[in-house]
Structures are given as structure tokens and as C-alpha cells.
DNA sequence: CGGCCTTATGCTACATCTGAGCAAAAGCCG
DNA sequence: CGGCTTTTGCTCAGATGTAGCATAAGGCCG
């Protein structure tokens, strides 16, 4: 039994902090993720991904982790051969601009995921979701449950890492159009967010979900920061990724008691207030013990 | 730029509890995981996996989750086309025996992962690992660190979900031969464990790692239990999966306070002591909130 | 220069969670 | 019935997490 011949494609969600905004590397218009086929010369899928990103954007990747593989029939195929797509999440620092391609603020792509300060968009979406849930389908109860859980409403806590579930719910309820091909005008205005090519925005949502989950149990934030940083910068970074604010004092305590960082001795006077000490990540902790990442002290709740 | 033509293969790690032993579904000798190519008729990778497992073993799967995708050059190819393998983790209950294929106790395949009672094997392996680490390579420090962390030695805590890391470390240090092709006799006796076809044992290790991690934050254990069960059976199941013992009283407290289960009213007198109440999983919790799975109360440490 | 604003940093009171153990309950068995 | 087993209930101290208050140390402005 020999299988169908297919082609394997690599898709990369490459994330960096650009001027304080978590951003994703995109190419062209409509924006698309760096991608490329698997070639005989590639040693492994991961190596292939590295190669393509480098070739298309001129950027070297540090951290790289596999996300998900899909090959649904309904994906827009590249002709004869069924494409099977392997997606990766990469972390880097913006470095010497510009390469090819550009950084796209991911909250421009998934605006409702930023709950740090303004939740008016979410509130607007919520009212539409409730209407969707209550429409006469025979699934009112299930739908209300689902809306409540995924969007942290109705007594449920907001869970930062349910990015994909939220995206899919918005999609199902017609608030987010997926492919540029189809266009449901009225809804499209409700859940703004820049579109991307094909289902790339869904892949991005997968990457964001993974990243948010991961910062909680592995110290990956530091891949996105410059070698030295203040605790405030670290916190801003975590908040930007998680999309929500955290309690400052408790955050620093967590960092310190885990001994994730060490002082450099320098201070940064650009704070607008008392100067802040600069720190660097203690890479050794990666060896010393399997560290527990940046736990989020829960926070000023909504 | 059109990519290399490849074939996609599905690989399934199907787990069930068989007579109290966590077991994996295998075919043939040497045992191999159920597998099959992606065909044009398959809607999705997940659907393809379901189909193949059903066809090859006559078993329906419940829970099914994607594990990892690999396409390394050094994998034993199926001829012309480079195979790219997508692995899945499936959970089920043994049900009406026998289908085709059989259940293989996974601790027969990865014996050092069972630390519930006897740790003599681990101790034996440890002494060899230390020797390996201390051999004159210039990497003594790094190697000692790595051995300590992955095997919970030298002050580090044993982490159940580092299954893959342990397997790879044993492999690197020559204690576990990978493919039946190569054979390093002396070592093979040290880390016993039944072999499997090709790199299937590595895939199994990946599955076990994922499962152990997952029971901690999602209530998946119940997929492996019969509809009603005693708390002791639940605990045995969790212990078998995690490969270590837990504190009984604290375990029940966790289960109860999370309201994961409800009494059926029946009791089970076969306990050898005081009869135990039977419970059933409250499926509703999956809706009510995104529940936090079966946290392991840490335990009688080694 | 002194008061005021801002952010950084230190610390404390309080709630909750965890780990560990004691002890009673409720079957069986001889 | 006493002894054995496992289930079940409960306590208690230490660790961890949450939420504030308070102070330190800069810049800015009158």
C-alpha cells in the first residue's frame, strides 16, 4: 500500500518584540507567513524552516518549535499534489532592520486578544456572541457555555491561551471572515483585525496560543529581549505576550525568587521616575534545573 | 518553486489500561505501532489516523491528539519517496478483546519509567550514566547536569514527563540501542525493555511524555477508565500513567474539590478492606469551565 | 532649591494551596 | 470478637499566591 504523493510545506510564525509590540514576520500583501516547500536537501523539517525563513527574510532564528501539522482537504491546494503543512513557532529579536518582509503587530491581526487596557472591543464582540448563542438553533445552552468559557464571561475567568478557541468561535459565529475569497461584509467590520493570506491567521492564532501557554512553564520570554533589560521591560514584554496586565510587585518577586536573572550593575535612567537596575538572564538556569518559566501572578481582573 | 514529492504516513500511539497496566497497541514482531499512508480519500490527518487504526486493529478511538511530525533524512525510507510521519496519541478502553494486534505493557518497552515501587533498575542505569558523564570528553560538567536533571538525581526532583529526554540520554550514552539493525550487545542488556520496529520506541516515548504532561492540566485520565470507578482505581490509573505513587488522601481531596466526579450510589466490595464508593466522571465539567486536570500531589519521594 | 510627579523597590497582612500524618469507619477473615 | 485491610474524614504547619501600603530615588518645574 503506497501512499498518495503529497508535498510538504513549512510555515513559520516568527515572533519578535518591535518597539514594545509583539509582532510577527510577514511578507507581501495580503500579509502571509514565510513559507516554503520541503526539499531533498533539507536535513529535517526544522532545518527546512530555518532555511526558508532565512532565505525569504534574511533573518536568523534562535528558538524554533514545531506547532502543528495539517492537511485538510479544504485547504487551498497548490494544484495537483495535496499540500501538507507543518507549522513552526520561532522567536527572535528584531535586530538590524530591514530584512525583506516586515513586522506586523499581532494585535493588529488579532485585536481582541489585547486586554491589557481597553476591553471595549471585547465588550462589543461579546454582545454579538451572545446574540449568536441565543439564536434559535437548539444549542443555546452549549453555545452560551462556550462563549462564557472562551471569552471569560459570565463568571468564567479570562484565559489568555485560548487564542485559537476564540478565533474559531468568532469564525463560526460569522464575525471573522477567514479567506479573502469569501466576504461577509457586515460582520467583517465588527471583528476588525487585518486579514492574512489563506488560513495564515488561524496558524498565527495557534502560535500565539502556544507562546502564551509556554511562557508559563518555560523561560522563553528572554528569547525576545535584548541581552540586558530592566524588570519593567521584562514585565512589559510578558504583559504584551499574555495580553493582560500583571501585579508589578508580585511579578518581580516571582522573577527574583526563581533567580532567573542577575543584576548587571548598570542602571537605566530613562524610566521617567526612579532609575531601574538592569538585569541579564541567567542562562545557567536552563542547565541547573528545569525551570518553571515566568508564572503570571494573576492580576487586576477585568 | 515546487516541492519534493513525499508521502505522508500516520503513526498512532494508542493507549489503554489493560489489567491495570498502561499498554500500547502494537502489531507484529518486532512490535510496531499501527500506521498507514495518507490517502486521497482521507479528509484530514486525524481522520486518516482513525481510519488506519480501525482498519488494522478493529478498534474505534475516542480521544485523539496530534503529537509530532518528523521527516529526518536518516529515517528508514520506504523507497523512492521521502516519508514524512505524523504521529498521534490516542486513548481508549480495551473493550471487547481481541481485535487484531495486541496490547503491549509500555513499562515492558520503557522499564525505567516505572518508579512506583522499585527503583533498582534506575539505580543501575544511574551508575552507568555517571560513568558515561565522567568519561574524558571535555563535557563532564554539562553531562553531569543533564543526567541529574533528566533522571532526578543529584538533588534534582524526578520529573515524570521527561520521558523523551531520558530515552535520548540512554540512547546517546549507548545504553539503549535504537534500531534492530545496529546492535551494541553489552549495553543492550543494561537497559532492557522490548525493542520496537525502527524508531517506534522513540515515538512511544514522545506519546508517554505528552500523556504525563497532559494529565496534569486536562482531565484525560477518564478516557482510560470504565464509566464508573472507585477513587482507588482512578488513583491507580494516574499512578500507572505518571509512573509514581501519590499521597492517597491528598489525591482524593484534589479530585473532590475540583468536583471532577460524582457518586453513583453503588459500592464496590472487592477492595479487600472497607468497600469503596463508585463514581462517574462529570462530563459537564468539560463545559462548565476549562478544568485543570488531575494535578499530582507530589509524593512519597524516592 | 524645594515640592511634586513618576517609577522602582521593599515589605506585610491575609487567603489558599500543599504536603504529611493521625484516626475513625466499615468491610472481611479466622 | 479481635485483627487485618482499605476507605474516608480531618488537622496542621509550611509554602505559595494575592493585594496593598510605604519608601526610595530619580526628573521636572516653579
The pLDDT of residue A278:
95
B236, closest nucleotide (Cα–C1'): D6
Which tens digit of pLDDT belongs to each residue from A133-166? 998 888 888 899 889 888 888 877 788 889 999 9
Q: Does B1 touch chain A (CB under 8 A)?
A: yes
Which tens digit of pLDDT belongs to each residue from B119-152? 788 888 999 999 999 988 888 888 998 898 889 8
The answer to whether A167 and A202 have CB atoms below 8 angstroms apart is yes
Residues of A in contact with B66 (CB under 8 A): 68-69
The answer to whether B67 and B90 have CB atoms below 8 angstroms apart is no
- What domains lie within chain A, and their CATH numbers? 6-106 (3.90.79.10), 111-192 (no CATH), 218-288 (1.10.10.10)
Query: Of all residues in chain B, what percent carry a pLDDT higher than 90?
Result: 51
| pLDDT surpassing 80 at residue B192 | no
| pLDDT surpassing 90 at residue B229 | yes
- Cβ contact A4 with chain D strand, < 7 A: no
CA-to-C1' distance for A15 and D9, Å?
A: 51
Residues of A in contact with B72 (CB under 8 A): 43-44
The answer to whether A19 and A233 have CB atoms below 8 angstroms apart is no
| pLDDT surpassing 80 at residue A73 | no
The mean predicted confidence, pLDDT, of chain A is 84
Which tens digit of pLDDT belongs to each residue from A190-211? 667 788 988 899 999 999 999 9
The pLDDT of residue A287:
65
| pLDDT surpassing 90 at residue A217 | no
Q: Give the model's confidence band at B293: pLDDT under 50 very low, under 70 low, under 90 confident, else very high.
A: low
Q: Return phi, psi of residue B294, to 5°.
A: -90, 95
| pLDDT surpassing 70 at residue A2 | no
Of A1, A45, A71, the CB nearest to B70: A45
Q: Does A287 touch chain B (CB under 8 A)?
A: yes
> Using CB atoms and an 8 Å cut-off, which of residues 7-46 of chain B contact chain A?
7-9, 36-40, 42-45
Q: Once rounded to an integer, what is the mean pLDDT over residues A48-52?
A: 95
Of B1, B4, B45, the CB nearest to A71: B45
Q: Give the model's confidence band at B299: pLDDT under 50 very low, under 70 low, under 90 confident, else very high.
A: very low
The pLDDT of residue B183:
47
Report the Cα–Cα distance between both ends of chain B, in Å, rounded: 56
Highest mean pLDDT among A26-40, B94-108, B280-294: A26-40
**DSSP at B72:** -
The mean predicted confidence, pLDDT, of chain B is 85
CA-to-C1' distance for B209 and C21, Å?
A: 32
The answer to whether B294 and B256 have CB atoms below 8 angstroms apart is no
Between A28 and A206, the more confident residue is A206
**DSSP at B224:** G
Which tens digit of pLDDT belongs to each residue from B148-172? 888 988 878 888 889 999 999 999 8
Residue B132 burial (CB count, 10 A): 18
The pLDDT of residue A184:
47
Between B278 and B56, the more confident residue is B278
Residues of A in contact with B71 (CB under 8 A): 8, 38, 44-45
Beta pairing partners, A65 = A89
Across A64-73, A275-284, B88-97, least confident range: B88-97
The pLDDT of residue A74:
63
Of A4, A45, A156, the CB nearest to B40: A4
Q: Does A4 touch chain B (CB under 8 A)?
A: yes
Amino acid at each position: 500500500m503506497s501512499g498518495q504523493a503529497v508535498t510538504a510545506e513549512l510555515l513559520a510564525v516568527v515572533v519578535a518584540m518591535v518597539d514594545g509590540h509583539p509582532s510577527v514576520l510577514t511578507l507581501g500583501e495580503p500579509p502571509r507567513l514565510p513559507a516554503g516547500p520541503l526539499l531533498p536537501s533539507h536535513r529535517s523539517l526544522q532545518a527546512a524552516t530555518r532555511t526558508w525563513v532565512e532565505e525569504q527574510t534574511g533573518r536568523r532564528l534562535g528558538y524554533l518549535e514545531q506547532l502543528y501539522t495539517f492537511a485538510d482537504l479544504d485547504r487551498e491546494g497548490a494544484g495537483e499534489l495535496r499540500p501538507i503543512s507543518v507549522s513552526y513557532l520561532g522567536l527572535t529579536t528584531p535586530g538590524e532592520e530591514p530584512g525583506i518582509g516586515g513586522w506586523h503587530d499581532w494585535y493588529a491581526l488579532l485585536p481582541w486578544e489585547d486586554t491589557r487596557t481597553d476591553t471595549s472591543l471585547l465588550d462589543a464582540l461579546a454582545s454579538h456572541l451572545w446574540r449568536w448563542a441565543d439564536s434559535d438553533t437548539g444549542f443555546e445552552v452549549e453555545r452560551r457555555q462556550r462563549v462564557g468559557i472562551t471569552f471569560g464571561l459570565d463568571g468564567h475567568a479570562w484565559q489568555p491561551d485560548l487564542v485559537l478557541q476564540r478565533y474559531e468561535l468568532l469564525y463560526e459565529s460569522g464575525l471573522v471572515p477567514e479567506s479573502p475569497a469569501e466576504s461577509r461584509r457586515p460582520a467583517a467590520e465588527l471583528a476588525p483585525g487585518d486579514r492574512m493570506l489563506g488560513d495564515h491567521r488561524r496558524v498565527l492564532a495557534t502560535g500565539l496560543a502556544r507562546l502564551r501557554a509556554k511562557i508559563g512553564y518555560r523561560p522563553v520570554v528572554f528569547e525576545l529581549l535584548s541581552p540586558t533589560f530592566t524588570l519593567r521591560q521584562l514585565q512589559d514584554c510578558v504583559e504584551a505576550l499574555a495580553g493582560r496586565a500583571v501585579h508589578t510587585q508580585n511579578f518581580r518577586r516571582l522573577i527574583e525568587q526563581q533567580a532567573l536573572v542577575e543584576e548587571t550593575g548598570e542602571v537605566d535612567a530613562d524610566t521617567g521616575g526612579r532609575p531601574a537596575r538592569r538585569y541579564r538572564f541567567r542562562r545557567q538556569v536552563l542547565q541547573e534545573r528545569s525551570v518553571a518559566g515566568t508564572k503570571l501572578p494573576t492580576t487586576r481582573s477585568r
